[in-house]
Amino acid sequence: MWKVLLVEDEVFVRESVKELIRWEEMGFTVVGEAGDGAKALELITAEPPDLVLSDIVMPKMDGIELLKETRRAGIQSRFVMLTCLGDFEYVRQAMEYGASNYILKLSMSVKDLRDTLQKIRLELEKTAPTVKESEAASAKDKIKHPEVNKIIQYIEEHYQEEITVKQLSQQVMMGENYVSTLFKKKTGKTIIHYLHELRVKKAIEYLLHTDMTVSEIGIKVGFFNDNYFIKIFKRMTGSTPNQYRKSESSE
């Protein structure tokens, strides 16, 4: 199944989009929702979806800026923009940044959505083998790329601390946007996703082999907010830290 993220500040529109389509029948599954661009960007960087269905005009961060930031992070998720009649200048900008299509919200129909999803699915199926080959090649090139290796080494040595892309770019004396794109190209993962994976892996070791509380473990591995730690842990393992500890200790 191709993963879809719905981004729309109007709950009614978001629910309507979910109900209009039998997603699984078309090869898609809705894996997340967001009511603003800032929240959507957090979800996208943590676990990039195959398709982002996004409104253009939203609070905190609009759909155009969301698309730009996603591309700056080196993430190539497909974007389809939901727009109103007066948003065509925004649509033009979205298409320039690589949006696949747009749909007018006021006249949105099942046919519009199905046709668009069919187009996106064909694009994804066509590029999937290329992506897999690229990722395999990238895995071999990590070994060869000194800057990427230096970033990985820095993350592994400092994962307990607050780490930003700016810090990493300074380590290798490159621009932030270039570092993000390079890392994604060579590893197949965003910097944030790689960091979260490492932190969760270390957290699991503490859960299984110490009596530390979840809060203490979160801080120990670099998550300084309990709720955020639990959310990321559950997203990556399917259970909360406490549930994980109980399930493993009962086996």
Q: Are residues 80 and 165 in the same domain?
A: no
Report which residue type is found at 197.
Answer: E
Task: Please write the tens of the pLDDT for every residue from 14-42.
Answer: 888 888 788 887 888 888 888 888 888 88
| DSSP per-residue string spanning 95-126 | HHTT--EEEESTT--HHHHHHHHHHHHHHHHH
Task: Please write the tens of the pLDDT for every residue from 99-148.
Answer: 767 777 766 678 878 888 888 888 777 765 444 444 444 444 474 688 89
Here the tokens at position 9 are 């500040």
Say which CATH number the domain at 186 has: 1.10.10.60
Q: Are residues 160 and 83 in the same domain?
A: no
Domain that holds residue 224: 146-249
Here the tokens at position 67 are 């698309």
Report which residue type is found at 150.
Answer: K
Q: Are residues 92 and 184 in the same domain?
A: no
- The structure's pTM equals 0.52
Instruction: Work out how many domains the chain is built from and give that number.
Output: 2
Q: Are residues 112 and 177 in the same domain?
A: no
